[in-house]
């Protein structure tokens, strides 16, 4: 559960480190229910006709021109040209035009489900630095890494580290005690015992940290994996194998076959009680402060939080994202026999810690989450897995040494001026937004002025007291670290929010906007080539990191961010008439993206459609970010004018940041961001400047006459 908008998802961290809580935010491009079976619907026919008409007209208009060499492209840096496929028409598929040769020459490594030219190249370089750091015997980092690498010791121990906890579950005399037991286990594991919890600012009083609760408890990425029959039948055999292996390896005391059926049935019931992922994006719908928790949810919340060390009084307020789920699941738990609940919780606990256990456990995790869900051929090498674990559990500490090794302070000055250029460009855009009335526009400008930026790395450092990690105790090391993070979060409850707190580590190749802090954040990890390089042509920086900055600023005004004011509090500041216009503009975007077909890059096999309702916030941010980055670049050059070559370089630099090779499964299981091709082409097709620069005819696919933007 999170309330900040990241630029992308980190595959490494999702792979095996943060367990299933992280995986639960994953989603799927198949979310348009029944897209496979409804292929011949009138809606599809319209799309096919549109695609064909676009293609034929482009053939007629552009075929003779293709023989002519593009003079501007010849002037661009060689490393930009080398990635391109100039045989593709940029007005038909700009992503393929910009990345085609890179895609053709790039072989997806077997141990990856996705490789993005920019993110993963930096991550690989980061891994080399991390490797040096952990080998320099830095306290805590070194112990965690070495204990992870000691697979002999981990294998010798087998399921032994679990035994004590499984016995505690087995011995619980009643449901109240059972929920206290699993509450305690949740404080030192990533297990999601029916709910996900988080401690962050109260959306309507962002000065105070509050306890938030949302639905949880599913093994597969989201509820639709269970409620969509076609999809469920695809994953059920692997889910069955996974649960069977885990229970057998752990010698759970009951008939394994019956237990597996009970667990799957229970998950189906949880899925039926769950809210759809599209609705979970709605900040108003998911803000439900409640008191008297011990009366409304005595088991699910009351006893659970006693076990987790967060006892709640009658007056304690908990902000519930999914109230109907909590009500339905409390009833479900009441009518489920105690022994079945124990089996379900035992399984949830085992699955959450399986990545810290012996080889057969880890193999089972890989088979389901790596091979089946992500389409990855082989697990990552152990060394990489262990670096990812150090990153996941001690990221802040790791980043301190990383910054010392890599970050150049001079970069900060240039980034600050880029951020300021982008803020100015956004303000100009707001001032020109004639669809907004004066009152709303002025409130929007006020919000923009209050937006703050965190750049590079956090100034404040964390303390790590009372941690005793050992080179030969991996399971216990991980549990200690999760417990440390748990206590740290709990200690913040009810205290004042720290506006300087980072929700990302400095080495992460990512960025985010936090609506409740009204803050954009760019860690040192993303302030590197190919996103940012003081030595290259400014067109490249504005197209790559400039667009990223614009993307994060725009999140402050997307369908989620617009509900929060300049101080980060959720309250309406839009007039009704402008809000109505916003919604109609947003609908234009979600309809447009939902009509985008997703195919395998090489074979052309149909994989599905973008889920425009789910990706809306990211799509608004991509379209807006690209527009203001271009405006900022123009302004930067003023009074000189951009040459046509530089204009093309800007758009190519943007697109080439996203050149990606991915398995079909990974594309289908995409998150709140559309797949890379649709991200690039989606922002491009709503950009009039692009159509002008690449001389796209009115009939071109990437120059629709109805453009969408906010
Ligand atoms: Zn985003």
Between the CA of 551 and the centroid of ligand 1 the distance, in Å, is: 6
What is the predicted pLDDT for the residue at 254? Answer: 75
Between the CA of 6 and the centroid of ligand 1 the distance, in Å, is: 5
The whole-angstrom separation of Cα 463 and Cα 694 is 54
Lookup result for tokens 């989603």: 27
CA dist 310 to 1, 304, 414, Å?
18, 9, 45
Report strand pairing: 519-523 vs 512-514: antiparallel
The whole-angstrom separation of Cα 438 and Cα 299 is 50
Between the CA of 26 and the centroid of ligand 1 the distance, in Å, is: 14
**In Å, how far from its chain's centre is CA 139?**
30
Between the CA of 515 and the centroid of ligand 1 the distance, in Å, is: 12
Between the CA of 549 and the centroid of ligand 1 the distance, in Å, is: 10
ipTM of the complex: 1.00
Between the CA of 263 and the centroid of ligand 1 the distance, in Å, is: 35
Between the CA of 518 and the centroid of ligand 1 the distance, in Å, is: 14
Between the CA of 396 and the centroid of ligand 1 the distance, in Å, is: 22
Between the CA of 491 and the centroid of ligand 1 the distance, in Å, is: 30
**Residues 618 and 674 sit within 8 Å (Cβ to Cβ):** yes
The whole-angstrom separation of Cα 304 and Cα 307 is 5
Between the CA of 315 and the centroid of ligand 1 the distance, in Å, is: 36
What is the predicted pLDDT for the residue at 253? Answer: 77
The whole-angstrom separation of Cα 180 and Cα 656 is 51
Q: For domain 36-85+413-460+499-693, is the CATH number 3.40.390.10?
A: yes
Segments making up each domain of the chain, as ranges: 36-85+413-460+499-693, 176-338
**Residues 628 and 426 sit within 8 Å (Cβ to Cβ):** yes
Lookup result for tokens 């409850």: 493
Between the CA of 625 and the centroid of ligand 1 the distance, in Å, is: 10
What is the predicted pLDDT for the residue at 602? Answer: 81
Q: Which of 562, 591, 593 is nearest to 579 (CA)?
A: 562
Lookup result for tokens 């499964």: 665
Between the CA of 123 and the centroid of ligand 1 the distance, in Å, is: 19
What H or E segment, with its residue span, contains residue 512?
strand 512-514
Q: Is the dihedral of CA 75, 81, 82, 85 positive or negative?
A: negative
Beta-bridge mates of residue 215:
195
**Residues 364 and 108 sit within 8 Å (Cβ to Cβ):** no
- Please tell me whether the peptide bond between 314 and the residue prior to it is cis, using omega within 30 degrees of 0: no
What is the predicted pLDDT for the residue at 25? Answer: 23
Between the CA of 352 and the centroid of ligand 1 the distance, in Å, is: 28
656 Cβ neighbours under 8 A, 6+ residues apart: 80, 83, 98, 99, 102, 117, 118, 530, 544
Between the CA of 554 and the centroid of ligand 1 the distance, in Å, is: 9
Between the CA of 521 and the centroid of ligand 1 the distance, in Å, is: 12
Between the CA of 443 and the centroid of ligand 1 the distance, in Å, is: 22
Between the CA of 512 and the centroid of ligand 1 the distance, in Å, is: 7
Between the CA of 7 and the centroid of ligand 1 the distance, in Å, is: 4
Between the CA of 552 and the centroid of ligand 1 the distance, in Å, is: 6
Neighbour tally for 172: CB within 10 Å: 18
Between the CA of 598 and the centroid of ligand 1 the distance, in Å, is: 20
Between the CA of 115 and the centroid of ligand 1 the distance, in Å, is: 19
Between the CA of 310 and the centroid of ligand 1 the distance, in Å, is: 33
Between the CA of 555 and the centroid of ligand 1 the distance, in Å, is: 7
Between the CA of 477 and the centroid of ligand 1 the distance, in Å, is: 33
222 Cβ neighbours under 8 A, 6+ residues apart: 24, 26, 27, 28, 274, 277
Between the CA of 513 and the centroid of ligand 1 the distance, in Å, is: 8
Between the CA of 99 and the centroid of ligand 1 the distance, in Å, is: 22
**Residues 665 and 11 sit within 8 Å (Cβ to Cβ):** no
Q: What is the pLDDT of residues 261-272, one digit of tens each?
A: 999 999 999 999
**Token duo for residue 314:** 């009658």
Q: What is the mean pLDDT of each run of 10 residues along the chain (710 residues)?
A: 66 39 26 24 28 33 52 92 97 97 96 95 94 91 97 98 97 98 97 95 96 97 96 98 98 91 98 96 97 96 97 93 98 98 98 98 98 97 97 96 87 93 97 96 97 95 92 97 97 94 95 96 94 94 97 97 96 96 97 95 90 96 98 91 93 97 90 94 98 97 95
255 Cβ neighbours under 8 A, 6+ residues apart: none
Q: For domain 176-338, is the CATH number 3.40.50.300?
A: no
**Token duo for residue 206:** 């962002």
Between the CA of 571 and the centroid of ligand 1 the distance, in Å, is: 22
Between the CA of 539 and the centroid of ligand 1 the distance, in Å, is: 22
The whole-angstrom separation of Cα 558 and Cα 586 is 9
Between the CA of 133 and the centroid of ligand 1 the distance, in Å, is: 31
Between the CA of 679 and the centroid of ligand 1 the distance, in Å, is: 11
**Residues 709 and 585 sit within 8 Å (Cβ to Cβ):** yes
**E strand map for 135-227:** 195-202, 205-215
């Amino acid at each position: 559960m999170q309330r900040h908008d990241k630029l992308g998802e980190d595959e490494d961290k999702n792979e095996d480190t943060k367990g299933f809580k992280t995986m639960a935010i994953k989603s799927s491009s198949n979310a348009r229910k029944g897209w496979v079976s409804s292929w011949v619907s009138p809606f599809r026919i319209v799309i096919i006709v549109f695609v064909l008409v676009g293609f034929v007209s482009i053939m007629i208009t552009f075929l003779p021109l293709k023989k002519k060499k593009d003079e501007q492209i010849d002037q661009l840096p060689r490393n930009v040209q080398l990635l391109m496929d100039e045989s593709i028409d940029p007005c038909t598929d700009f992503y393929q035009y910009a990345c085609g040769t890179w895609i053709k020459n790039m072989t997806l490594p077997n141990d990856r489900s996705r490789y993005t030219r920019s993110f993963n190249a930096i991550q690989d370089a980061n891994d080399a630095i991390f490797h040096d750091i952990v080998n320099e015997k830095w306290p805590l980092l070194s112990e965690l890494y070495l204990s992870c690498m000691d697979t002999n010791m981990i294998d010798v121990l087998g399921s032994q580290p679990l035994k004590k906890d499984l016995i505690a579950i087995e011995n619980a005399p009643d449901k109240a005690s059972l929920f206290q037991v699993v509450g305690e286990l949740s404080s030192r594991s990533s297990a999601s015992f029916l709910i996900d919890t988080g401690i962050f600012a109260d959306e309507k009083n962002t000065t105070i940290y509050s306890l938030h609760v949302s639905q949880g408890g599913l093994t597969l990425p989201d509820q639709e994996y269970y409620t969509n029959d076609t999809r469920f039948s695809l994953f059920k055999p692997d889910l069955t194998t996974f649960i069977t292996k885990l229970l057998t390896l752990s010698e759970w005391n009951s008939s394994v076959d019956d237990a597996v059926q009970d667990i799957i049935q229970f998950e189906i019931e949880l899925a039926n009680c769950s809210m759809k992922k599209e609705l979970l994006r709605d900040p108003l719908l998911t803000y439900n402060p409640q008191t008297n928790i011990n009366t409304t949810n005595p088991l699910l919340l009351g006893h659970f939080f006693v076990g987790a060390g967060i006892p709640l009084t009658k007056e304690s307020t908990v902000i519930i994202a999914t109230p109907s789920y909590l009500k339905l699941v409390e009833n479900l738990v009441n009518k489920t026999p105690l022994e079945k609940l124990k089996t379900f919780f035992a399984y949830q606990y085992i699955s959450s810690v399986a990545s810290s256990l012996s080889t057969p456990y880890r193999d089972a995790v890989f088979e389901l989450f790596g091979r089946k869900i992500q389409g990855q051929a082989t697990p990552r090498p152990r060394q990489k897995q262990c670096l990812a674990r150090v990153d996941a559990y001690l990221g802040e500490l790791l980043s301190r040494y990383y910054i010392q090794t890599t970050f150049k302070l001079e970069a900060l000055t240039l980034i600050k001026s880029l951020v300021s250029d982008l803020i100015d460009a956004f303000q100009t855009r707001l001032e020109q937004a004639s669809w907004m009335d004066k009152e709303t526009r002025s409130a929007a400008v006020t919000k923009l002025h209050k937006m703050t930026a965190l750049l590079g790395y956090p100034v404040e450092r964390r303390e790590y007291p009372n941690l005793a990690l050992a080179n030969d105790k991996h399971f216990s090391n991980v549990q200690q670290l999760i417990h440390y993070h748990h206590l740290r979060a709990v200690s913040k409850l009810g205290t004042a929010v720290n506006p300087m707190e980072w929700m990302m580590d400095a080495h992460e190749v990512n960025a985010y906007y936090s609506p409740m802090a009204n803050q954009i954040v760019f860690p040192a990890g993303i302030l590197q080539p190919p996103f940012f390089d003081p030595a290259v042509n400014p067109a490249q920086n504005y197209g790559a990191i400039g667009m990223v900055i614009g993307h994060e600023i725009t999140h402050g005004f997307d369908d989620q961010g617009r509900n929060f004011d300049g101080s980060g509090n959720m309250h309406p500041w839009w007039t009704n008439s402008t809000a109505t216009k916003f919604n109609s503009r947003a609908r234009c975007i979600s309809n447009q993206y939902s009509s985008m077909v997703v195919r395998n890059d090489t074979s052309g096999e149909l994989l599905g459609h973008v889920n425009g309702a789910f990706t809306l916030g990211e799509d608004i941010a991509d379209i807006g970010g690209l527009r203001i980055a271009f405006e900022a670049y123009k302004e930067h050059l003023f009074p000189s004018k951009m040459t046509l070559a530089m204009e093309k370089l800007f758009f190519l630099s943007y697109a080439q940041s996203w050149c990606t090779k991915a398995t079909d499964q990974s594309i289908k299981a995409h998150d709140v961001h559309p797949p890379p091709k649709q991200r690039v082409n989606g922002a491009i097709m709503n950009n009039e400047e692009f159509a002008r620069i690449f001389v796209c005819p009115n009939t071109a696919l990437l120059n629709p006459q109805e453009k969408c933007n906010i």
